[in-house]
Structure 1
Amino acid sequence: MKIRERIEYLSKPKPFTAGPDQTVLEAAREMSSRNIGSVIITDTENKVIGLVTERDLMRRIVAENKRPDEAKLSEIMTTNLRVAREGDNVIDWLRVMSNERFRRLPVVDDEGKLVSIMTQGDFVSYTWPELLKLFSDRVEKKLGFNNQHLWIIGGVLVYGIAMAVILVTAM
């Protein structure tokens, strides 16, 4: 499935962006008011040039005892970013993000302009139902029948055994 084909992708709010000369304090206050964990640094054409996360604030401002009202985002931003295209495969990016240990992925259009940001959590939550369906289909194919009945029967059996254990221990 393509990133742009996800219904949830279309409903995501516009990502928070800032210019490289904005102060860290201004960006941190906006991140706090929006309850978000990052700001994407863009140039005047809305092309991604960097990213600042809460972790960057901790490591590059707080831990180094820098003044957030004086430091610029360009001084602390991560610049070697991976960016996705709207037509890229969700599962491919989930794998890359997991293997390379990063959680935020700016998504750009064909002109390289920022359109969204996806997090590893977004991809997991968006793909989890599909993975469960795939698992269910494979079990059904192997067993030759609909496995939902097995889950219901198994659940009733587990519940029955649990109730019996509770009653026996209560006596």
Structure 2
Amino acid sequence: MKIKDRPEFRSKAPVLTFGPEAVVSDAVAVMSEKNYGAAVIVDADHRPLGIVTERDFMRRLLNKRLNPDETTLAQIMTVDLKMARADDDLLDWLRLMSNERFRHLPVIDDQGVIISMMSQGDFVSYTWPELMGRLGEQARATFDVSPSLVLMVAGFAVFAASVVTIFAQLR
């Protein structure tokens, strides 16, 4: 499935963006008011330069005892951005996000302009049911392909029950 096929992709609120010179305290106020966990820092053409998350505020601002009224987002943003395209495979990105431990994925168009931001939560809401469905399909396929496996398991169960019964009578 492609990212653009997710219902969340089409129904997402606009990405919260700021310029690099925005002051941290102003960004925190807006993020808090709108309940956003991340914002994308963009240039004048709306191309991503970085991202700030709650973790950035904790590690790069509070931990270093910087003043949020004087510190700009450019000073604390994460610049090593991973960015997706709407046609990218959803499960590939979910795997990468999980392996590399990041939760927010800016989605850009062919000109590099931000068009959406997906979170790991957006993907997980879909993938857990799908993964369980796929496991069920694989289990059914295994039994369809190998009926002898079912007979082996049933035979083992009968043998085990017989052994337990015999030992119970010997006592």
Over alpha carbons, which structure has the higher Rg? 2
Question: Where does residue 117 of structure 1 map in the other structure?
Answer: 117
Which consecutive segments of 4 or more residues in structure 1 shift more than 6 A? Answer: none
Tell me how far apart the structure 2 counterparts of residues 2 and 62 of structure 1 sit (CA, whole Å): 38
Question: Where does residue 11 of structure 2 map in the other structure?
Answer: 11
Shift of 1:88: 0.2
Structure 2 residue 120 is the aligned partner of structure 1 residue 135: no
Question: Where does residue 147 of structure 1 map in the other structure?
Answer: none
Alignment of 1:1-150 (within 5 A): 1-144=1-144
Larger deviation: 135-144 or 53-62?
A: 135-144
Structure 1 residue matching 2:52: 3-state secondary structure: strand
* Structure 1 residues without counterparts, runs of 5 or longer: 145-171
Shift of 1:82: 0.7
Structure 2 residue matching 1:136: 3-state secondary structure: helix
Paired residue type of 2:139 = V
Shift of 1:116: 0.8
Q: Cα deviations across residues 87-115 of structure 1 (Å, max 9, x unaligned)?
A: 00001001111111111110001111101
Larger deviation: 4-13 or 26-35?
A: 4-13
Q: Cα deviations across residues 32-60 of structure 1 (Å, max 9, x unaligned)?
A: 00111111101111100000111111112
Tell me how far apart the structure 2 counterparts of residues 12 and 64 of structure 1 sit (CA, whole Å): 34
Give the TM-score, by structure 2 length.
0.80
Tell me how far apart the structure 2 counterparts of residues 99 and 19 of structure 1 sit (CA, whole Å): 29
**CA-based RMSD:** 1.1
Give the TM-score, by structure 1 length.
0.80
Tell me how far apart the structure 2 counterparts of residues 29 and 77 of structure 1 sit (CA, whole Å): 16
Question: Where does residue 165 of structure 1 map in the other structure?
Answer: none
Tell me how far apart the structure 2 counterparts of residues 15 and 115 of structure 1 sit (CA, whole Å): 7
Tell me how far apart the structure 1 counterparts of residues 82 and 63 of structure 2 sit (CA, whole Å): 26
* Total equivalences in the alignment: 144
Shift of 1:18: 0.4
Percent of aligned positions that are identical: 48
Shift of 1:62: 1.4
Matched-pair contact (CA < 8 Å) for 1:22–1:73? yes
Tell me how far apart the structure 2 counterparts of residues 120 and 26 of structure 1 sit (CA, whole Å): 26
Matched-pair contact (CA < 8 Å) for 1:8–1:126? no
* Structure 2 residues without counterparts, runs of 5 or longer: 145-171
Larger deviation: 39-48 or 130-139?
A: 130-139
